Amino acid sequence: MTFSHISKAIGIVLFSMASLDSFAQDAIARQAPSDKRLKDIRNVKLNNTASFSADLNNPAAHIYTDWTENVRGCNGSVPANYKIDLRGYCMPTTNRKINSPFGPRWRRQHEGLDIKVYIGDTIRAAFDGKVRICKFNGGGYGYYLVLRHPNGLETLYGHLSKQLVKKDQIVRAGEPIGLGGNTGRSSGSHLHFETRVLGQPINPALLFDFEHQDVTSDYYVVRNSIQKGDLAARQVSPMEANDAQQVMAAAPNTNDRNTEATEEGIDAKPNADSKQQPRKKANKKATSYSVKKSDTLSSIARKHGTTVEKLCRLNGIKPTSILRIGQTIKCS
């Protein structure tokens, strides 16, 4: 064998080894195509961002037909059993203490939660959304904001010391939108927090668990339809298998003269002459009631001529407690 033949043989062997090494690397790459997966993830993220941005420009357009500066003045309709997506939330404050719950208070309906915050505390957007209202009401909410979210909810943040966003601004969940304060008709620094659908209030405690800094469920279902002008009491409940577990969440005042000032004036201490006279007992003998389907604390209180607060005190429950069919409720 000549030297040239030996050189050719060595060259063929080296080329074969290089080819095998290349084939082996390609096989390994095919088994773990990390670059392709990363590219796919980037594409999905960009697509979701693009579609979500479009929703934020006109959030919840599937149920709202207007964009006004009135807290209650929302036109549109909500389908029966409307599901609200609570995922992607952020607690508006890290504070956990509730000073005043949702429900009747001083002969008026308190349509939100009063959460203890201090002047200057950061208040954050509960969900991605768009600022519908950024105003000041000296006789009511003080400096306040209303955000509309793609899930159909609107959230209200009252008594702020400063607003950090402007009307029509798009915000993300967790973004600072204001600072805690004591502005407007308020008896101490706190955040007045409301959740509404089509202008109608829903008890925020049914959606947000401030004590544990979490939402109550991934979804929340509005059981009955809500339409503009419909002032009937509405039933809402967490998305659970047992449809009988329902509680009162929206009970708007039927007095058409109510304004933002009077509706939020309940945050201040009542005047001495406005104290409610003690209710006379119908009889001295204790009575009880067995809960039926669709009963609420409010409806039970009306049937027995008492108040939700008294029912809660007699039974050791809260206005947000879920009633069970057959549960015995003391009424006096």
CA distance 264 to 295: 28
> For every one of its 332 residues, what pLDDT tens digit does the chain have, with 9 covering 90 and above?
555 555 555 555 555 554 444 444 444 444 444 333 333 333 333 333 333 445 899 999 999 999 988 888 788 888 888 999 999 999 999 999 999 899 887 778 889 999 999 999 999 999 999 999 999 999 899 999 999 999 999 999 999 999 999 999 999 999 999 999 999 999 899 999 999 999 899 999 999 999 999 999 999 998 766 665 443 334 444 443 333 233 333 333 333 333 343 444 444 444 333 334 444 443 444 478 888 877 888 888 888 888 888 888 888 888 877 887 778 888 87
Q: Where are the domains of the chain?
A: 77-267, 283-330
Measured from the Cβ of residue 44, the count of other Cβ atoms closer than 10 Å reads: 10
Select from 158, 160, 164, 166 the least CA-distant residue to 134: 166
pLDDT at 4: 59
Measured from the Cβ of residue 13, the count of other Cβ atoms closer than 10 Å reads: 10
pTM score of the predicted model = 0.58
Total residues found in the chain within this entry = 332
Select from 133, 105, 267 the least CA-distant residue to 190: 267
The CATH superfamily of 283-330 is LysM domain (3.10.350.10)
H-helix or E-strand spanning residue 312:
helix 308-315
CA distance 201 to 112: 8
User: Dihedral of the CA atoms 37, 39, 45, 46 (nearest 10)?
Assistant: -160
C-alpha distances (whole Å) from 331 to each of 228, 246, 283, 319 are 34, 19, 11, 14
Collapsing DSSP to helix, strand or coil, 225 comes out as coil
CA distance 61 to 307: 38
pLDDT at 142: 96
Q: What is the DSSP string of 77-117?
A: EE-TTEEEE-TT---S-S---EEE-SEEETTEEE-SEEE--
Reply yes or no on domain 77-267 having CATH 1.10.10.410: no
pLDDT at 25: 43
